[in-house]
Structure 1
Amino acid sequence: MARVAFVTGGTRGIGRAICERLKSDGMKVAAGYSGNEEAAQACARELGVMVVKGNVGSFEDCDRAVRTVEAELGPVDVLVNNAGITRDGVFHKMSPAQWSDVIRVNMDSVFNMTRQVIEGMREREWGRIVNISSINGQKGQMGQTNYAAAKAGMIGFTKALALENARKGVTVNCICPGYIDTEMVQAVLETVLASIIAQIPVGRLGRGEEIADMVAFLSGEHAGFVTGSTLSLNGGQYMAG
């Protein structure tokens, strides 16, 4: 029977690439989204995946979304916590809203979504949780104390949850992408983009498909011995020990 995967922030960018890859691997896939209806409908139409609208910062929305997916596709076997936002600004000028918005969507969402599926995974003694963090959660970034804190928190969450569930057949891993060729990155000034690429040893931006390849492995049947890991996919820009 096909595994069921739920990818938050799954209708654009890295998330869409992940959905496309998991669907091509034979999984039944649901893509979560919060607001861009046009992108969501295009994703559903072009990839043939289920799309589910909701706010990952709301525990109630996450409960509703997971119940909706389970009713149509079956119990969630694979959860990819990919949704995230930025509200950049130097800390001494950062507003409480800039801080709390990012923590809620990027960090609280990991609890909100994972809590909905973890008991079922433990009962079935099989599950895959993949958290999409960031290079900036590893090394920090000026103007992103909120984002870096949330993404670093995902790494700690991954390690602790992996320990709790290892004997139940549930793996929990974290991927830290560097700068990926998404529409968000392409929107920055050309001069800024050039300076970013100059800092990447392989000399280019990453591709969403490259992140999706790693998610596909970690989500698969042969990744049962990989858990609690943080994998850096950044072209050599930051080599975490």
Structure 2
Amino acid sequence: MFTGIVKGTARLAKLERKQGLYTLTLDFPPDFDAGLAIGASVAVDGVCLTVTRHASGWAEFDVMQESLVRSTLANISEGQRFNVERAAHDGAEIGGHPLSGHVDCTASIVGIETPENNKVMRFEVAPEWMHYIFAKGYIAVNGCSLTVSDVDRATRRFSVWFIPETLRATTFDAKQLGDMVNIEIERGTQVTVDTIRTYLDERLGPLLPRLEALLGGQGTLLEQTIAALPPSTTPDKP
């Protein structure tokens, strides 16, 4: 498990491409790998990778086909920098929110604004993932725990704000329009949304798409409507 609090950036020193498998050698920031052992987990731009070789200041990782397909790691190059975080240990402070390191999808950067002492980025995702993204909810972008500031479901876009410390510790300050990032949705939100949708599908069947279309035309999300109902009318949540 990870907390989404990025501890620095690592540089890709060597990339070996094989059929269905990449091998990465990363150079770490000072003291990042103290006590790191073979078999340990490190989040690299939000992707949980296992250490296969290690010496002071660097480590090697294998990236399997599934991770390459789902993340941005399929399109990387030597010299590139990544957000990195060690796995959380027992008793660690959860400064962000719990992350698995299992990336769900990628998103493209479609907007960048720079108010004084801040940066705002706008991302666009595939429609099926918008069900799980809510204003003021958590989301992980390239392994960084962030709060969604606003959501536009019609365009499948959401925004987040970055404070100077986050920009200093991560790679976000170097990102540009059109760049792709890794997204991990918040698991509690996913469970709640999927439970509601399964409950409604079992009871409404073919009427469910019509209800969603009707609510969508009014700018309302199905899950938001159900959440507003009295407790006696909503499904039990795990």
TM-score (normalised: structure 2):
0.25
Which structure shows the higher helix fraction? 1
TM-score (normalised: structure 1):
0.25
